[in-house]
Structure 1
Amino acid sequence: MTHTNQAISSKPYLAVFDLDETLIAADSACLWSEFIAEKELASDTHLAEERELMSAYANGTMDMDRYMQATLKPIIGMDSKTLTQLVAEFIERKIKPAFYADAISRIQWHKQRGDIVLVISATGEHLVKPIAKLLGADDVIAINLEQINGIITGRTTGTLSYQQGKVTRMKAWIDDHDIQFKGSYGYSDSINDLPMLDAVDRPFAVNPDPALALHAQMQDWTIMDWRHENNILR
């Protein structure tokens, strides 16, 4: 998915999108937990733990290390091929119906302009990468999962792409790519992404949570109301 480094006649813009509650009308990690519970790969106790940890997300106090350890437990020891097959079914059943039609239109608008579309998410790469590919993103930054000999260990690697970690990973991504950007756009719904939105030239608050809505109003940022439409990619 990485954008090739061919010569570009005019400098493109970088368009950075959060995933959960920004591009889709749901949290993909929560939907995934429900899905694997339906598959009898996770217990009700796991779901309760996931919901308890997720409750701290809205106010920016989530312990992301602990959250990832908890949510990855059901797939520890799973081989990557099995996981890929599960995720494909998950996307078909749970994610496709949740896409915001306006989000798809906005990505297409950026692509038509020749912009580079980058999805940055605080969700595991096993979910984010195939979802972003479906949307036509050029590349993805997500939480990296450790695999040993193709087996999921339940551990993460590198900087977690959460809060300030998104900016750290984005800057590293820019440094790794031989592209001179004319400017940058950023889209998110969450106050957790305030560092990312502050780091771009043109921030947009999409269906923002109350804290981000207040900040956006004070900073005179554009607030976007994206509508949900079922089966937009079916």
Structure 2
Amino acid sequence: MNLAIFDLDETLIAGDSATLWLNFLAGRGLVSNALLAQDRRMMQDYYAGTLDMPAYVALTLAPLEGRTTAEISRLAAEFITHHIAPIVYPEARQRLAWHKAQGHRCLIISATGEHLVRPIAHYLGVEDAIGVQVEVVNGRYSGRPEGVFSFQQGKVVRLGHWLRDHNVEPDFCYGYSDSSNDLPLLEHVDEAAVVNGNEALNAIAAERGWQQLNWTLKKQP
């Protein structure tokens, strides 16, 4: 069995799902402008490779505290319909379809919380997904993370856990990402592809013979 592993944000979709989600919640009065401003500052650190991941996870999960899993599921479904569906790269859909046609298993691994990653993956027709684990107590989110963050080397660690837990031993692994933060994952797979990479990541891709893909959203008529 072959396995195709995809990053989510800026790889399958033209945006960051966690930031879009916070803005979506802000539009319903569930998130403050101060939190949005802090998210913008932290995203600058993310792109610079200096993100304090525990602090970022705490920030993005804070709006979940005390809310039921059913409420978040309803909000996530609305969010996906109106804010994620329009920004899925057509080439991403085509690549997912190609892997499925070859009989490959597809897996999405993201540093975003699993409360978003799983339903977005389901929308994309991908059954298997890994995101930052979020604690649930008596049917309500605590706002606290659990386990290893699926970020940087943590993606490789979480992938190992997933392979063990699902009793999967792939013969060959493909990997797709836009981010230098995913270098550990891209180096781990058998065939890596950089999607819309920056100059530094594209230089690494060229040096190592990785695919360089340029995916765009179709222009509206």
> Shorter-chain TM-score: what band?
over 0.9
Q: Is 1:180 the equivalent of 2:169?
A: yes
Q: CA deviation at 1:230?
A: 6.8
Equivalence for 1:21:
10
Is residue 2:84 matched to residue 1:95? Answer: yes
Q: Which runs of 5+ in 1 are unaligned?
A: 1-11
Q: Percent identity?
A: 46
Which residues of 2 match residues 141-220 of structure 1 at below 5 A?
Answer: 141-220=130-209
2:76 is aligned with 1:79:
no
CA deviation after TM superposition for structure 1 residue 92, in Å: 0.7
Measure how far apart 1:32 and its partner are.
0.5
Matches within 5 A, 1:26-105: 26-105=15-94
SS in structure 2 of the partner of residue 203 of structure 1: strand
Q: 2:86 aligned with 1:112, yes or no?
A: no
| 3-state SS of 1:72 partner | helix
Q: Secondary structure at 1:58's aligned position in 2?
A: helix
Task: Write the letter of the residue equivalent to 2:178.
Answer: D
Displacement after TM superposition at 1:75 (Å): 2.1
Give 1:7's aligned residue.
Answer: none
Q: 1:162, 1:199 → 2: CA distance?
A: 14
d(CA) in 1 for partners of 2:171 and 2:46? 33
Please report the TM-score for the alignment, with normalisation by the length of structure 1. Answer: 0.91
1:84-133 deviation digits (Å, cap 9, x = unpaired): 11111110110000100000000000001100100000000010000101
Map of 1:6 onto structure 2? none
> What is aligned with 1:9?
none
Hey, what's the Cα distance between the residues in 1 that align with 2:20 and 2:200?
24
Give the distance between the partners of 1:91 and 1:230, measured in 2 at CA: 20
| AA in 2 matched with 1:35 | F
Aligned 8 A contact 1:60 1:192 in 2: yes
Aligned length in residues: 220
Q: Aligned with 2:86: secondary structure?
A: helix
Q: RMSD across aligned C-alpha pairs, in angstroms?
A: 1.2
Unaligned regions of 5+ residues in structure 2, if any? none
Q: SS in structure 2 opposite 1:57?
A: helix
When the two structures are superposed, what TM-score results if normalisation uses the length of structure 2? 0.96
Tell me whether 1:123 sits opposite 2:121 in the alignment. Answer: no
Distance 2:219 2:75 in 1: 22
Q: Distance in 1 between matches of 2:146 and 2:18?
A: 18
The answer as to whether partners of 1:97 and 1:230 remain within 8 angstroms in 2 is no
